[in-house]
């Protein structure tokens, strides 16, 4: 196989909860490649620690908006570019990769909303897989366990909220 051409990789940082960011990012990608989009990796997300009962509804909504609703919005908006790639490269497929978590399969105490969001990502990915397969778009959810990143220190910073009690 030929080596990947790193000049064709376009990392894009955006806020998936802001439609204008999504549109700007996809316009940037479209301007870079008339062939469409080979792969989209949805990696936005954060954790929220706290007892289900005491988790602030606004905080829970923000988590779901980022981890699930934003992922779905970006995926939906990217479909024309993903489809274009598959159509212009006979026999090839484009890839839509959603980053889930081991939390897509198990729920643990103090992270109810995080796990709910990751279960939702897994379910959405499975449904999209069946819908988009005939269009040459392959959908997969990658669900890793613990990985050394700054995710856990950020999660630990939210722990004081888990101490709330009446």
CB 17 within 8 A of CB 65: yes
Provide the edge-to-edge strand list for the sheet that holds 137-142: 39-42, 94-99, 137-142
The yes-or-no answer on residue 114 being catalytic is yes
CB 81 within 8 A of CB 26: yes
Helix axes 19-32, 71-88, angle to 10 degrees: 20
| Catalytic site residue from 85, 113, 114, 130 | 114
51 C-beta neighbours (distance < 10 Å), count: 14
CB 111 within 8 A of CB 52: no
Name the 3-class secondary structure at 157: helix
Phi and psi for 36 in degrees, rounded to 5?
A: 100, -160
Positions annotated as catalytic residues are 114
């Amino acid at each position: 196989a030929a080596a990947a051409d790193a000049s064709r990789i376009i990392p894009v940082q955006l806020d998936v909860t802001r439609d204008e960011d999504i549109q700007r990012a996809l316009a940037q990608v479209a301007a870079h490649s008339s062939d469409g989009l080979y792969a989209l990796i949805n990696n936005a997300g954060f954790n929220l620690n706290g007892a289900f009962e005491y988790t602030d509804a606004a905080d829970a909504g923000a988590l779901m908006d980022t981890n699930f609703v934003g992922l779905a919005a970006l995926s939906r908006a990217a479909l024309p570019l993903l489809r274009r790639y598959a159509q212009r490269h006979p026999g090839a497929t484009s890839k839509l990769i959603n980053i889930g978590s081991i939390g897509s399969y198990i729920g643990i105490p103090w992270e109810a909303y995080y796990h709910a969001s990751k279960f939702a990502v897994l379910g959405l990915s499975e449904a999209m897989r069946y819908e988009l397969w005939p269009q040459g778009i392959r959908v997969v959810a990658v669900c890793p366990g613990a990985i050394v990143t700054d995710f856990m220190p950020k999660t630990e910073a939210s722990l004081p909220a888990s101490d709330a009690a009446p």
